[in-house]
Amino acid sequence: MGSASRVAGIDAMAFHGTHCYLEMADLATARGVDPDKYIHGLGQRQMAVATPCEDTVTMATVAAHRALDRFDIDPGEIGTLIVGTETGVDHSKPVAVYVHDMLGLAPNCRTFETKHACYGAMAGLTSAMDWISAGRARGRKALIIASDIARYGLNTPGEPTQGAGAVAMVVSERPRLLELDPTSFGDYTRQVMDFWRPLYSKYAFADGHYSIDCYLDAFSGAWRDACENSGTWEPLRLDNIDACFYHVPFTKMARKAHHRHCETEWGISVAKENEAKMTEINASYERQVAPWLELNSIVGNIYTGSLFLCLMDYLRKAHPAGGQRLSMFSYGSGCGAAFGTGVVVANAARYADHIDPATHLAQRRRLDIDRYEQLITASETADHNEAPYPDPADWDLGQGLYYVGTRDHIRQYTGSAADTP
């Protein structure tokens, strides 16, 4: 598999989220909603909440530092840095250049930001794969970071589908985790208005039901393109795939996506009344998808990183011996999508502890509703160019890398990624 000359894949991964979270049952009670609507209806148990001192820059930098440190990668080895985000901090200046500076990367490292809603990080990953395969890397590695804050405001329909976090991935010619198969990738693009955020709005606009339809149509299109590119759909068959990962703005979306995956491969449309086929789909879902949604259920929607949280959950829990084929589907509203596969590298299981964010997540602080609402309200003006400035002490934050306000229209940061727990 892979190209004739060079193979690219994921060599390292790490996650960094927020210091605070909210129990979905607490949010439901406060909003007068049956908790089952959020916990079982959406599949969400907890929701990461960013303080005014945590932004896409701080989360991306800490996740990247963690990946480099835990996998013993010298920052000087990084020749490309791409940050995928739809919640950037500037209309012009990319998050990536802040991260480049904070990590101390070399000046000849190319650096940019990709934006296509939740598809941005996958666009960065495939770009890195092409960069290496084309011979442009010259032995160097690429650092791809998905960093986002999904925030919809208090008492809005989107409030229970918020979240925040960053996933960092190092891509190299000698990957230790997952070897990407370039012959298995397919793409899909169509201009739709299912989710968008005008320049004048802090919050996004969405047509939820239409967006789900667009997502499912994009899956079918990207999967078919992948089959055409591979020349055979045999390696892409569900029978030959160990685990399936999808973009999950809420974890129940993975069930809808897998249903469409089965229908697209089998060339049929399965109604709920077809009990035999529904049983087959549900069994496939429980085996190939459901076990790898735990991190998403306790972090929430992290836009570009949601797909890769599923992959991290698999690599930390499945302990694969190597050789297992995994599928990945990325969807970004607007819309752009990609479907592709990779093969687990032998001995990848030895890095399960390097990847596992359990210790970090266990250190988070649970918010009550009053504190949560104070935090969200304070975040509304955190990026304004005047006082009061965000102060880590106001949110009981200890040592770490934090955003501390904008002065003279220049964003200010304090601390370092190395000090962040």
373 is catalytic: no
Rounded distance, CA 31 to CA 176, Å?
45
* CA–CA gap between residue 164 and residue 85 (Å, rounded): 11
Structure tokens at 393: 């002490």
Task: Write b or e for each residue in 350-377: b if 16 or more Cβ atoms lie within 10 A of its Cβ, otherwise e.
Answer: ebeebbbbeebbeebeebeeebbeebbe
**Tokens at 340, concatenated:** 């592709």
Tell me the pairing of strands 141-150 and 46-49.
unpaired
Q: Which residue has the tokens 């092409």?
A: 130
| CA separation for the pair 215, 79 (Å, rounded) | 33
User: Is-catalytic flag, 53?
Assistant: no
Active-site residue among 19, 65, 100, 247?
Answer: 247
CA 222 to chain centre: 19
Query: Which residue among 20, 53, 109, 118 is the active-site one?
Result: 118
Query: Which of 172, 169, 420 is closest to 315 using CA atoms?
Result: 169
Task: Tell me which residue of 251, 78, 59, 225 sits closest to 146, measured CA to CA.
Answer: 59
- The amino acid at 393: A
Residues 6 or more apart whose CB falls under 8 angstroms from that of 194 comprise: 206, 207, 210, 211, 214, 333, 334, 335
CA distances from 265 to 71, 93, 246, 261, 366 (A): 37, 42, 16, 6, 43
118 part of the active site: yes
Q: Which residues of 277-288 are buried (b: 16+ CB within 10 A; e: fewer)?
A: beeebeebbeeb
- SS in 3 state form for 114-170? ECECECHHHHHHHHHHHHHHCCCCCCCEEEEEEEEEECCCCCCCCHHHCEEEEEEEE
- Report how far apart, in Å, the C-alpha atoms of 112 and of each of 164, 332, 341 are: 21, 18, 25
C-alpha distances in angstroms, 246 versus 250, 293, 326, 341?
11, 10, 11, 12
Helix H or strand E encompassing 277: helix 275-288
List residues with catalytic annotation: 86, 118, 247
